[in-house]
């Protein structure tokens, strides 16, 4: 009886021990899997949180954190080429078209090109040209010196603007924005609901438009820093005044001046006669009408009034003269 009871008591103990061992192994495997999954989830969440913190902190913080994490992704070292150079030059030359051709040749030989060009003429026929030249920054000083040597410099203005900080900021923002666009695309690939896809598409469109704006700004900065802008204004040199030797007039100058004065006087007299001629013609016509028509009629009317009275055939007795009142007759 004892043997049977001991055998019965041993079997449940062994079964219980086996069950406990199996449960322990199962718990160990589950905990390992959970730890692995939690570690991966924590890593992804940490990456997302770091990216969100970088976006909230600003482009400068994102760029600095990325530079500290990996030296391979650090932005390239900046040089003096991140400076926008502009100049305005006004030069007087003898021949404007010739000087303009020389300026074009200088810009093209330096690796640049000619931009906007405007040519005008004043009332005296003097030509004036304004042209915009774009030349590489490293040849900027050389080209400017050549243009100044083409004539007399009247005005010169040069400016230099350092945009290094702006270039760094734009580059950092572009990298952050590209990473943001990539994350949204990954989420779209994993999205299962239609509402999530629609929301992610709107977010992706917004971030891609921001990225395009940043890329356009980067291209503009690159163009302005790699090519300098020179605005050249060309005008004809005014006629020089006579020297001291020619200041004192001679005989030929006197004759020339007198002739010019005579011609000028005749011109003014002719202009005066031309202005008076219509009135003189009208006055002459009135005088002619007066002499031919009005004056003969007036003379005919005056002739009968002044004609003598004809004498009668029979004479009347003439009374003797009276010497005085109450006097005697002779």
Give the model's pLDDT for residue 307: 52
Instruction: Pick the range with the lowest mean pLDDT from 78-92, 224-238, 298-312.
Output: 298-312
Share of the chain above pLDDT 70, in %: 63
pLDDT beyond 70 at 187: yes
Domain-wise residue ranges, the chain: 83-236
Read off the pLDDT of each residue in 262-274 and give the average, rounded to a whole number.
88
Which of 145, 156, 148 shows the shortest CA–CA distance to 99?
A: 148
Rounded Cα–Cα distance for residues 214 and 172 (Å): 10
Q: Would you say 147 and 232 are in contact if contact means Cβ atoms under 8 Å apart?
A: yes
Give the model's pLDDT for residue 249: 63
Q: Summarize pLDDT for 135-169 with one digit per residue, the tens.
A: 999 999 999 999 988 889 999 999 999 998 999 99
3 state SS of 3? helix
Q: Would you say 90 and 233 are in contact if contact means Cβ atoms under 8 Å apart?
A: yes
Per the structure block, which two tokens stand in for 65? 């954190």
Give the model's pLDDT for residue 212: 94
Q: What are 140-143's contacts with CB under 8 Å, separation 24+?
A: 140/85, 140/87, 140/228, 140/230, 142/110, 143/106, 143/107, 143/110, 143/112, 143/230
Give the model's pLDDT for residue 177: 93
pLDDT beyond 80 at 269: yes
Give the model's pLDDT for residue 168: 92
């Amino acid at each position: 009886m004892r043997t049977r009871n001991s055998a019965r008591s041993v079997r449940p103990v062994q079964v219980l021990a086996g069950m406990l061992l199996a449960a322990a192994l199962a718990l160990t495997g589950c905990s390992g899997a959970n730890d692995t999954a939690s570690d991966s989830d924590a890593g992804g969440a940490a990456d997302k949180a770091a990216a969100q913190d970088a976006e909230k902190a600003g482009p400068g913080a994102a760029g600095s954190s990325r530079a500290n994490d990996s030296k391979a992704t650090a932005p390239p070292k900046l040089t003096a080429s991140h400076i926008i150079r502009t100049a305005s030059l006004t030069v007087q030359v003898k021949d404007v078209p010739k000087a303009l051709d020389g300026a074009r040749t200088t810009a093209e030989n330096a690796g640049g090109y000619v931009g906007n060009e405007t040519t005008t003429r004043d009332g005296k026929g003097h030509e004036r040209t304004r042209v915009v030249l774009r030349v590489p920054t490293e040849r900027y000083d050389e080209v400017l010196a050549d243009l100044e040597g083409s004539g007399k410099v009247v005005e010169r203005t040069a400016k230099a603007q350092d945009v290094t900080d702006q270039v760094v900021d734009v580059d950092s923002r572009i990298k952050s924005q590209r990473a943001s666009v990539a994350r949204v695309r990954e989420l779209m690939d994993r999205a299962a609901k239609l509402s999530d896809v629609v929301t992610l598409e709107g977010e992706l469109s917004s971030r891609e438009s921001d990225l395009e704006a940043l890329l356009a700004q980067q291209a503009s900065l690159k163009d302005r820093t790699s090519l300098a802008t020179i605005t050249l204004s060309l005008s004809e040199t005014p006629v020089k005044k006579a020297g001291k030797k020619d200041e004192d007039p001679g005989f030929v100058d006197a004759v020339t001046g007198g002739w010019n004065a005579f011609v000028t006087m005749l011109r003014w007299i002719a202009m005066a006669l031309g202005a008076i001629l219509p009135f003189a013609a009208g006055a002459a016509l009135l005088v002619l009408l007066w002499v031919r028509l009005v004056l003969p009629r007036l003379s005919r009317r005056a002739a009968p009034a002044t004609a003598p009275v004809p004498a009668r055939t029979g004479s009347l007795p003439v009374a003797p003269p009276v010497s005085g009142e109450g006097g005697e007759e002779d």
